Every structure is written in structure tokens, then in C-alpha cells.
Chains A and B, each alone.
Chain A
Amino acid sequence: MGKVSAKPVLFANSIPAQAPMDPEMTNSSASEAVAIGAAKRTPEVIARRVRGLSDRAIAWLFIAPTIVLLLAINVFPLIWTVYLSFTNYKANRAARGVEWVGLDNYRRVLTDSDIWHNMLVTGHFLLWTMTFQVLIGFGLAWLINKNFKGHGVWTTVILLPMMLSPAVVGNFWTFLYQPQIGLFNYIVGFFTGVDPSSFEMIGSVNLAPWAIVIVDTWMWTPYVMLICLAGLRSIPDYIYEAAEVDGAGPLRTFWSITLPMVLPFLMLAVLFRAIENFKMFDLVVELTSGGPGSVTELASINLKREAFEKWRTGLSSAFAIILFVTVFGAANIYVKALNRVKQR
């Protein structure tokens, strides 16, 4: 690639961009022509400044803003959080002075029964959302892959919930869950004969954990379906035909051809969804705000309360680091397993 040439240009904008081009011109010389054209049109003021810079220097110039931004809003806060987690810093009383407390915050987080309760709630939420989304998502993908008439329309319809904002979804599901007027309660009542106003999905200690599982499943199953569908579509027809001639029935074909070949895709979908759901905040806050009591208080909701309602900045930093290490470690182990599946 040519360097940016910085010859003095008198009529900066009036010179046509095309260098002499014949139709047989190769790709690289075509892009070179574009580069030369661009250089010619560079105003003299700027051209003088970049004159003599190497390609590498110019490349750095282009990515510098992004790097600065990343350092400022990702890397620096991470390091700062690690530091704060060893102090008794309180963000609302910054003037008080900061004291180094060593591992105290970590000890307090790990022995706090409320936080362990949050972790259990998060675990329950993760386990069941993943189970339902995998089963329903794979089932839907399998059906859509049958290429029945109008499957394109159905795919679009199924994908709709995923396109909505989590806050919107959380908010309107509070209406669907209304005991008196909610559609959800009405439908459950219609099919089971239970009186719709006799149960409260959000208000009941027993049902609220399931209420958030249902909404998340409703919203994110399409995502799992989409990735499964890509997996199913990647299996060529002749593999199925070979299996058919080899005497494999539909059941054996499913267990020993379809499922193993879709498994890497399925595992990838679960990885993405599990990481997202471990951090789940907006949907559940809109829906239940962690209640009733704290039965739907996920780790991230409590973290936000510790940090920005109780202002225990040091403690919540330690909490955040623990969550980060947990999800990072788990994801790493999982990716190793995923690679093993992919290499079979």
C-alpha cells in the first residue's frame, strides 16, 4: 500500500479521484489508486501534519481513540475496583479518608449469609432458564428445520421477543402477571381450571422465582433456537441419507447424528446465555425488584444495593471481583469442554 503522499496540492478538491484505470486493473493497484486519490484531496493543512509519518504511525493514530476509551472505561475501573476492594472506601463519604483493610471485605462477603442466599437465587435462575431454553429452543429449531410451509414467517414471529428491551419486557410482564386482569393468569386459569385471581406470580414467595424464569425463557429462547437452527442447517443431507441406508431409524439418527453434530452450537448458545443471565439485572429489577422479600434478589441486584444504596464501596468491590472471578473461571472450564466436543 502506498504511503500517504503529501505533495503540495493546489486545487485540492477539484482533482478527480480516479487515477488512470483500465478494466483489467488488479485489486491492489485499484486500492492504491484510491489511496493516491484520497491523498490528493487531503487539505494542505492536514497534509502538512501527517507528512512523513510511517504506515504504522498512522495506524496507531487511528486506533488511539479506541484504546484510550477502553483504558478509561474498562481497564482503569477494573484495576481501581481491585484496589478499592482492599479498602474501607465509601464513595458517598470520600473525604473520610481511605484505610487499607486487607482481605477483610472478601472475608465479610464470603461469610455473609444474605450473599450466599443471592448466589442460590442466581443458581436457581441460571439452572432453570438454561434447561428450559435449551429444551424449548432446540425443539423449536428442530420443528422450523422441517421446512414446513410458512416456516419463514414463524421464524420471524418466534424471534420477536428477543428484539425487545429487557426493561420493556419486565415492565409489561408485570401486567401479564396481574391476578385480576393479567393474560398469563387468565390463560393458566383457562387451561387448568384454577381461579386466575387465586395466585400471584410476582407477589408469592413460592412463585416469584419461577415468574422470572418464565419471562427470561420467553424472551431468550429464540436466541437459543436461532443458534440451534444454524447447527441443524449445517448438517448436510447426505449424512442423513447415509444413516438411513445404514439402517438407522429416526430415533438413532437423532441421538447419534443430529444431537452430537448440533451439540457444539448448543453449548455455545448456553455459554452466551449463562454469562448474560449470571449478570441479569434489568429484567428482574423491572419485574420484581428482587422481591417479595429477597426471593428473587439475584447477586447483581444485591451488588447494586450494596454499592449504590448502602454505599459500601469497598465491600461491593470485593463482591464484584468475586462474581467476576466466578463467571470467568466457570466460562473458562466450559470453553475447554466445548473445545473437546468440537474436536471429536
Chain B
Amino acid sequence: MANVSLRNIDKSFGETKAVRNVTFEVAKGEFLVLLGPTGAGKTTTLRLVAGLEKPDAGSVLIDGADVTSAAPASRDVAFVFQQYSLYPHLSVYDNLAFPLRSPARRMPEDEIRSRIEAVAGMLRIGGKLQNRSTKLSGGEMQRVAIGRALVRRPAIYLMDEPLSSLDAKLRADLRLELKRIQRDLGATILYVTHDQIEAMTMADRIGILSEGRLVQVGSPREIYADPDNVYVAARLGQPSINVLPLGALPVRSAPRTAYSVGVRTEHLDISRDGGPGANARLDWVEHLGDQNHLHIRLGDHRLTILAQPGTDLSAGEALRIEAANPLFFDEDGRRIR
């Protein structure tokens, strides 16, 4: 395991600037998640670390050594692709053994075997080693792909949305397993996803990417509670943060330069108010079982907020809403602290 750092990386594909001046560091044993929508430059960043792409400017350092122009094979990185990139003509065992049988390693076959068995046990695919890799279910295939990275014990694991092609239940299971394995091995992982739940649950730190720029890096808690701007605030939270122009919502004290105000669902005080103090009306209630979403009309604006499953509010009721702990943003969407 080693630390990896990117310094002022630029990368364009033709006219498209995929990555712009990105700088960050993944510490040894850290699980860093890059979060962003499609086209934000997440995968490109990962491929730049792997050496599958060469940066136009900037440098990539692994354990202090500059590997910017090194070939992927010499970087000691492992990559888990979004597709199950198994070698279809090989058995599960041979797939796992493939990186270890590299001529550069000269690893004896019995050590290969013991490593594979350890990893297969960890990923619960021990019984499938002799199967053909194409005869596995989607979840098993992705386990094998992750296993092929794990057997290597590289400087860093790079994972490109490895769980995105799995169904919801499997995704939740593998998410927990991956986090457990990372803790057990003390592995350094750079993980790319557009799924905020994956980011929040697995990451030691989250990096938010937007249009090729790294907008904010911090622990999940920091990113959630203390976003630098509207964009970051909107990436996390379900239902997502409500952003309203200043004045639409009663707030206790607003900074002078404030332009808009963002309130997360837990930052709203709601009370039933049939009298003159009412400023909102409940449009409808979405029952999700373990929670309810309240859709509220506030003047010309709509809010979606979370309510306890036992809520006794019903559609059509008049409400009084006040922001308890709002986030203020200026005209450019920057946070005013």
C-alpha cells in the first residue's frame, strides 16, 4: 500500500476538457471516493492514475515516485472496471491467477494458489474457482473482478463504479463487504461512483467532481454538513437540499451578500398552523414505508422534505415553516460561512 497524489492534472479529448487542474492525494490505507454525475471526469481521473490515459499536463505520483509517463504494468495499480472485465476463455481460478502469473513476478504456483484461496474465501467465491467465468451470475463475476485486483496487493486499487451493474440488494451487500475487506487489508482505494449512498457509506473522504474540476474534498460528514457551494450541497442528501431565493423562507438572520438559501430536510421546523402565521400548504404525502416525503408549496416554490413514518399530517393542511439551520449562498452559488 502506498499514497498516491495527483498534481495539477489536465486532460482533454479533442475539444472536450475532461479533467481540469485536478490536485488531490489519497493517503495510505484511505478509501477515497470521487463522486459526480456522468461526464464529470471521474473515470478519466481513474484511468489517468492507472496509466490507461496520459495527462496533457500535471503529474501522478505513487509513493513519491513520478509515474506520469510509466506504463500501466509498471505502476503497481489494480483496476476494477465497470463491466465485468473477466477473461471469458479462462476459469475463475485462472482469471484470479492471471495477474500473479505475470513473468515479471515469477511467483511460485503454490503461493499463487494460497493467495487465490485466501481472496476467494474473503469474497465467498471459494466454491466457484473451477467454473468458467462466463457461467457466473453478475454478482459473482464482479466479485471475481474485485478478487483479481485483491490478489495483487498493489499500491492502490482503482475501482470504476464496480457495483453499478448489480441489482440493488446485491449492491448493498457488496458495498458492506468491500468496506469490510478494505478495513481488514488496510487497502488504499480510489473509488469512482455517481451513487451518493456508496460514497457516504464507504468513503473516508469524498471528492466531488463537476465538469472536470475537483470542487471539494472532505469527509462525508464535512461534505454533507459544510458544503462549499450549491453544487456540492445538492450532490448529497436524499431528498436533496431545497434551494430557495432569499426571502422566500423566513430565516432568523441572513448575511448581507446572501442570494439564496439552502435548507436540508432536517433543518426545517414545521408546525401545523391554521392561523395567520401559516406560510405554506402541504400538497401531498409520499409514503415510502420507512419514511415519508412531504411535498410542500411555499408561495411560488415547492419543497420536498422528509417526515417520520408516523406523521399525522395530511394533504391540504396549512403549515408554518421556518429554517432552523440554513446554508447561505451568494450570487455565484458560493457558500457564505
Q: Is the CB of B81 within 8 A of A242?
A: yes
* B-contacting residues, A131-147, CB 8 Å: none
Q: Does B284 contact A (CB under 8 A)?
A: no
New contact pairs (5) apart from A246-B152, A343-B132, CB-CB < 8 Å: A243-B87, A246-B98, A248-B73, A257-B87, A260-B89
Q: Does B77 contact A (CB under 8 A)?
A: yes
* Selected A-B contacts with CB under 8 Å, 25 pairs: A236-B85, A238-B85, A239-B85, A239-B87, A241-B72, A241-B81, A242-B81, A242-B148, A244-B52, A244-B73, A245-B52, A245-B72, A246-B73, A246-B98, A246-B148, A247-B104, A248-B73, A248-B98, A249-B73, A249-B103, A256-B98, A257-B87, A260-B89, A343-B132, A344-B132
Q: Does A261 contact B (CB under 8 A)?
A: yes
Closest to A341 in B: B89
Q: Is the CB of B85 within 8 A of A242?
A: yes
Q: Does A108 contact B (CB under 8 A)?
A: no
Q: Is the CB of A242 within 8 A of B79?
A: yes
Q: Does B182 contact A (CB under 8 A)?
A: no
- By a beta-carbon cutoff of 8 Å, the part of chain A in contact with chain B is 236, 238-239, 241-249, 252, 256-257, 260-261, 343-344
- Nearest CB of A to B29, in Å: 21
Closest to B88 in A: A261
Chain B residues near A260 (CB-CB < 8 A): 89
Q: Is the CB of B79 within 8 A of A245?
A: yes
Closest to B74 in A: A247
Chain B residues near A236 (CB-CB < 8 A): 83, 85
Closest 4 CB pairs of A and B: A246-B99, A247-B102, A242-B85, A247-B73
Q: Does B203 contact A (CB under 8 A)?
A: no
In the bound assembly, the distance between CA atoms of A107 and B139 in angstroms comes to: 62
Q: Is the CB of A241 within 8 A of B85?
A: yes
Closest to B99 in A: A246
Q: Does B337 contact A (CB under 8 A)?
A: no
In the bound assembly, the distance between CA atoms of A76 and B102 in angstroms comes to: 60
Q: Does B223 contact A (CB under 8 A)?
A: no
Known: A238-B85, A242-B85, A261-B89. A252 touches B79 (CB 8 A): no
In the bound assembly, the distance between CA atoms of A319 and B214 in angstroms comes to: 78
Chain A residues near B98 (CB-CB < 8 A): 243, 246, 248, 256
Chain B residues near A252 (CB-CB < 8 A): 102-103
Chain A residues near B83 (CB-CB < 8 A): 236, 238
In the bound assembly, the distance between CA atoms of A239 and B88 in angstroms comes to: 9
- Nearest CB of B to A246, in Å: 4
Chain A residues near B51 (CB-CB < 8 A): 245
In the bound assembly, the distance between CA atoms of A260 and B103 in angstroms comes to: 19
- Nearest CB of A to B81, in Å: 5
Q: Does B50 contact A (CB under 8 A)?
A: yes
**Prevailing SS type, chain B contact patch:** loop
In the bound assembly, the distance between CA atoms of A243 and B152 in angstroms comes to: 13
Q: Is the CB of A245 within 8 A of B102?
A: no
Known: A238-B83, A343-B132, A344-B132. A245 touches B78 (CB 8 A): yes
- Nearest CB of A to B128, in Å: 16
Which of A239, A245, A343 is most buried by chain B, counting CB atoms within 10 A of its CB?
A: A245
Chain A residues near B81 (CB-CB < 8 A): 238, 241-242
In the bound assembly, the distance between CA atoms of A261 and B88 in angstroms comes to: 8
In the bound assembly, the distance between CA atoms of A249 and B104 in angstroms comes to: 10
Chain B residues near A257 (CB-CB < 8 A): 87
In the bound assembly, the distance between CA atoms of A256 and B98 in angstroms comes to: 9
Contact of A244 among B72, B104, B105, B148 (CB under 8 A): B72
Chain B residues near A238 (CB-CB < 8 A): 81, 83, 85
- Nearest CB of B to A239, in Å: 6
Chain B residues near A344 (CB-CB < 8 A): 89-90, 132
Chain A residues near B152 (CB-CB < 8 A): 246
Closest to B151 in A: A246
In the bound assembly, the distance between CA atoms of A344 and B130 in angstroms comes to: 11
Chain A residues near B148 (CB-CB < 8 A): 242, 246
- Nearest CB of B to A234, in Å: 10
Chain B residues near A248 (CB-CB < 8 A): 73, 98, 102
* A-contacting residues, B225-269, CB 8 Å: none
- Nearest CB of A to B221, in Å: 33
Contact mask for chain B residues 69-111; partner A; CB cutoff 8 A; 1 contact, 0 none? 0011100011101010101111000000011001111000000
Chain A residues near B71 (CB-CB < 8 A): 244
In the bound assembly, the distance between CA atoms of A236 and B81 in angstroms comes to: 12
In the bound assembly, the distance between CA atoms of A304 and B98 in angstroms comes to: 54
In the bound assembly, the distance between CA atoms of A241 and B43 in angstroms comes to: 14
In the bound assembly, the distance between CA atoms of A238 and B152 in angstroms comes to: 19
Known: A249-B103, A252-B103, A344-B132. A241 touches B87 (CB 8 A): no
Q: Is the CB of B105 within 8 A of A247?
A: yes
Closest to A239 in B: B85
- Nearest CB of B to A62, in Å: 40
Chain B residues near A245 (CB-CB < 8 A): 50-52, 72-73, 77-79
In the bound assembly, the distance between CA atoms of A257 and B88 in angstroms comes to: 9
Contact mask for chain B residues 148-178; partner A; CB cutoff 8 A; 1 contact, 0 none? 1000100000000000000000000000000
Q: Is the CB of B87 within 8 A of A247?
A: no
Chain A residues near B85 (CB-CB < 8 A): 236, 238-239, 241-242
Known: A257-B87, A261-B89, A344-B89. A241 touches B102 (CB 8 A): no
In the bound assembly, the distance between CA atoms of A238 and B82 in angstroms comes to: 9
Chain B residues near A247 (CB-CB < 8 A): 73, 99, 102, 104-105
- Nearest CB of B to A102, in Å: 50
In the bound assembly, the distance between CA atoms of A250 and B103 in angstroms comes to: 12
* A-contacting residues, B29-64, CB 8 Å: 50-52
- Nearest CB of A to B209, in Å: 21
Which of A244, A247, A257, A261 is most buried by chain B, counting CB atoms within 10 A of its CB?
A: A247
